[in-house]
Structure 1
Amino acid sequence: MNARLAVVFAAFVVLTGCAVEVPTFDPPPITYLTPTGDAADALAELTVKGRAPRTGYDRDQFPHWSDLDGDGCDTRAEILERDARPGTVTADRQGCAIGAVIGDPYTGTDLVELPGPGSVVDVEHVVALGDAWQKGAQQLTREQREQFANDPVGLLAVDDTLNRQHGDGDAATWLPPRREFRCAYIARQIAVKARYGLWVTPPERDAMARVLDGCPGQPLPVS
C-alpha cells in the first residue's frame, strides 16, 4: 500500500467507523511442473530461447545449504550422506554428515572427504546458479530460488575441481568427463529445468538431444 492510499484508507475508517479488511499481497506459492515420460520427452517440452541478461545476479540470490526440512542438518550434509559409499559416513554430534567416501559420478573414482578443512568434495548444482538466473530463475521469488538451490534433484557430491570447471556453463559448454554418466547428468538437468520452469538455449537443447540419442528411454531422476 503506497503512502497516499494509506492516508485515504485511514480517513475512510475515521469517518465511517467501519472495520475494513486490508488485502495482503503475498508472493506466489511455489509451484512446480512435474515432468513426465523420459528425459527426451521432457526436453521436448522445455521452452527454447536465448539467455536473459546477467544483470542483478549474485549467488546470494539463491540461499543455499539451508535446513529446509528442519532436521538439524543442512542440505550439504544431507547430500554427502545420500551420495556416500555405504558405511563410510562420519557424523558430527548432531548426526550430520561431515565426512564420507564419495563415488564421484563425474570421474568414476572414490573421493575421501575428511572432517575439517581441506575439502576435496563439492556439492554441485547440476544446473548452475548463474545459468539458472539467465534462464528464468530471476523471475522466481527468493523463497522459490532457495527451494531450487537446496533441491536434492539438482545436487550431486562431486570432485571440487570439476565443479569449478563446470562453472556457470550449460550442456553446450560443459559435460562430465565420464561419458557413461552423461545421460544421467543431462536427465537431471532436464528434470530441474522442467521442475522450476527454466528454459534452454538452442545450442543447449541440441547438446542435450545429442547425448540422449545414445540412451533412448533415459528416465528422469526423482531424488
Structure 2
Amino acid sequence: MLSHFDWDEHLWAAIGPGSKSGLEKMLGSTVRGNEEEAMKYLHGSLHSHFTRLGITDDNVPRKCDERPSGLSMVDIEHSVCEYDKYCRARFPQLKGKRTEIKKRFTPKALDNKPYTADLPDKWRKPPTAHKVPKPPAVRKSENGEEVYEVSHIVAEREKADKNTVARSSTKRFLVRWKGWGPEDDWWMSEDDLRDAQDILRTWNAIKYGIQEGMEKVRNDPYSKTPSRLTSTQSRRRSSKF
C-alpha cells in the first residue's frame, strides 16, 4: 500500500474488463452499461446474503480489527474478476473475447521505497456511524401489539414440529421489515404472514424460478441462461405452493 493515497475504497473501485465479463456471466447481458450500479448492489446486499446462508458475523472477512466485517467495493471487484478467470479456466470450450489468463504482476519499488501490506491510516478508521430513525408502527393490533410493514422475505427454512407424533416440518421465513436493517430480521411462520400474501407469492415465484433454472442447467449445462418466468407462470406456480 502507498501511504500517500487517501481515497475512499468504496468510491474509487475501477471496474476492469475481467469484472465486467464476470458480472455479465452472473447477471446476463442486460448489465452492460450498468456495471457500477450492479457492483454497488452486490456491495449493499452482502450482509443479507450472509444471513440467508447462515454465515455469522465472526466468519465474515474484515480488512483489519478496527473495521467492521464485510467486503469493500474493491474486494468485490477483485472477486468478480477472479470468478470470470476461473470460469474461463474451468470451461475453456466456452469462447469469449477474453481468453488470456497468464498475466503476472511483479511489484517494483517506487522512489526506492518498497510496497508494503500496511493499510493507509484512513482505511483503518471505521466509517462514521449515522443514526437513522426507525419507521414507526403502521398500526396496533386488537391486543395492542405494534404492527409493522413487511418489505420482503430474505430466506426460508424448515423447522421440525416437536409437538406432533409425526414430527412434521413447518416452514419459517426470514422477514425484512420496511425501513429496518438485516439486524432486525425475524423468523416467522406462514400463518404469521397471512396479511402479507403478496410478499409470499413474490417469494414463491422467485424460488420456483431459481429451481427451474437450476434444473435446466443440470439437464443441459451448456445451454443459454433460461429466461425469466412470465407473471402468469409465476402466479400459477406460486398458487401450488
> Shorter-normalised TM-score: what interval?
under 0.3
Larger Rg: 2
Question: Larger relative CO (CA 8 A, sep 6+): 1 or 2?
Answer: 1
TM-score, length of structure 2 as denominator length: 0.23
TM-score, length of structure 1 as denominator length: 0.24
